[in-house]
Amino acid sequence: MSAVQVQHLSKVYNSVRNAGWRRFLPSRADPARAPFRALDNVSFTVEEGEFFGLLGPNGAGKTTLISLLAGLSHPTAGSASICGFDVAAQYKQARRSLGVVPQELVYDPFFTVRETLRLQSGYFGIHRNDDWIDEILHNLGLTDKADANMRALSGGMKRRVLVAQALVHRPPVIILDEPTAGVDVDLRRSLWDFIVRLNKSGHTIMLTTHYLEEAEALCNRIALLKRGQIVALDTTQALMARVGGRDLEEAFVHIMHNGLQEEIAS
Ligand SMILES: Nc1ncnc2c1ncn2[C@@H]1O[C@H](COP(=O)(O)OP(=O)(O)OP(=O)(O)O)[C@@H](O)[C@H]1O
């Protein structure tokens, strides 16, 4: 069974800029009011145990896709499943199978790190989870922060807690939306060591990042998104070879500007 399956997924936003005084303008006078297609007929499959990269420039639709997979938003068309569970019709099972590390630093300032992780465990109906919480804290270098208040942590530390939160219910599939944005070299290394270990122990990982050297080192397969469409999907090595690039960054720039001549592999 596939870890993630996305079939003909589209998402059209009715522009948020419709709000306020703009709503009184006729739509032809204000192009910002036109509906916006953030994802356009996207299909792909991630197999169990893969380390899969979802890359693309700002605004390509990566976070939109992740929100749909996490059931935080609804598709305009198409469907998606996690470990065979439809993200809409079988939301609970799909959500239980998935851990998401969000891009934005969202946290409750009133709780300590341990309380935050206990609370998150409770959302999944898991009680007495402290052994696993301790293991996660240890692996993320957070043991000595367990009783610190969330608001007293640095940005990088808060990001570690977001990673810990995504793991409390031991999900088989983990999605990381730019997890290393704004974190120091030490955390990067320890975070990737931990994620690679999780992957080797059977977890499926889906990663978005703008650090292409990280994606090149970690991902076995990569999908490139541009303006809501998949413009390339292949193994990391094949993507680089197909454009004769020395590294993924060169391949990325080439594909984004010139496209691929051949058909997209699936
Ligand atoms: N709620 C919303 N309402 C209207 N438009 C939105 C909404 N959320 C995202 N968009 C638009 O959809 C497009 C895709 O956004 P998304 O956040 O998915 O991109 P991204 O690939 O994650 O970008 P980044 O790399 O900057 O995080 C952007 O043009 C964005 O402005």
Q: Which has more confidence, 263 or 250?
A: 250
Ligand 1 atom with the shortest distance to the CA of 36: 5
What is the spatial distance between Cα 83 and Cα 251, in angstroms, rounded to a whole number? 31
Write out the residue range of the structural domain in which residue 220 sits: 48-75+97-258
Among 29-33, 80-84, 186-190, name the one with the lowest average pLDDT. 29-33
pLDDT band at 264 (very low <50, low <70, confident <90, very high): very low
The amino acid at residue 186 is D
Q: What does the pLDDT read at residue 34?
A: 75
Three-state DSSP class for residue 245: coil
What residues pair up with 230 in beta bridges, in sequence order? Answer: 225
What is the spatial distance between Cα 260 and Cα 266, in angstroms, rounded to a whole number? 14
Asked whether residue 4 is assigned to any structural domain, the reply reads: no
Which two structure tokens, joined as six digits, stand for 71?
A: 């059931």
Asked whether residue 84 is assigned to any structural domain, the reply reads: no
Asked whether residue 166 is assigned to any structural domain, the reply reads: yes
Please tell me the total count of domains within the chain. Answer: 1
Distance (angstroms) between ligand 1 centre and the Cα of 35 equals 13
Asked whether residue 29 is assigned to any structural domain, the reply reads: no
Per-residue model confidence as pLDDT tens digits over 153-175: 988 889 889 999 999 999 999 99
| 258 within ligand 1 shell (Cβ under 6 A) | no
What interface predicted TM-score (ipTM) does this complex get? 0.97
pLDDT band at 266 (very low <50, low <70, confident <90, very high): very low
Ligand 1 atom with the shortest distance to the CA of 210: 25
- Specify the CATH number for the domain of residue 188: 3.40.50.300
Mean pLDDT over 246-258 rounds to 90
Give the position of tokens 């700002």: 58
Cα angle, residue 54 at apex, residues 239 and 69 outer, rounded to 5° = 145
Residue 18 has pLDDT above 60, yes or no: no
pLDDT band at 181 (very low <50, low <70, confident <90, very high): confident
Which residue's alpha carbon is at the smallest distance from atom 16 of ligand 1? 61
